Amino acid sequence: DAGITQSPRYKITETGRQVTLMCHQTWSHSYMFWYRQDLGHGLRLIYYSAAADITDKGEVPDGYVVSRSKTENFPLTLESATRSQTSVYFCASSDSGSSQPQHFGDGTRLSIL
């Protein structure tokens, strides 16, 4: 089925470890986004990508790395996880155009011990 999938759905890791969250969309949308959701903050943008090989920082990029070698994939890597990165992470995509809404994956709950 067409859509946007995130994996894993849940992840527990330790501080200092590297962890990668995966995001895959089948719509061929140009834009992809990574958000983190924390209580009281809503969703905050970490990184986004307008097309393959084009990425840009969002509001809270520190400690995260992204890549987009293929249009359909947009992985998010925490190179050295910290407890403050414990959060729920959402990937989203949208088509190009002036008014396209974003479509979201089901989120990854990441706990860093």
Q: Burial-class residue 81 by CB neighbours within 10 Å (0-12, 13-18, 19+).
A: buried
In terms of Cα–Cα distance, which of 61, 111, 60 is closest to 86?
Answer: 111
Residues in the chain: 113
Residue 1 or 42: which CB sits closer to another protein? 42
Residue ranges that bind another protein, judged by CB under 8 A: 31, 33, 35, 40-45, 48, 50, 58, 88, 90, 92, 94, 96-104, 106-107
Nearest approach, Cβ of 96 to another protein (angstroms)? 8
Q: Burial-class residue 90 by CB neighbours within 10 Å (0-12, 13-18, 19+).
A: buried
Residue 33 or 74: which CB sits closer to another protein? 33
Q: Are 92 and 24 spatial neighbours (Cβ–Cβ below 8 Å)?
A: no
Residue 18 or 27: which CB sits closer to another protein? 27
Nearest approach, Cβ of 16 to another protein (angstroms)? 27
Residue 14 or 106: which CB sits closer to another protein? 106
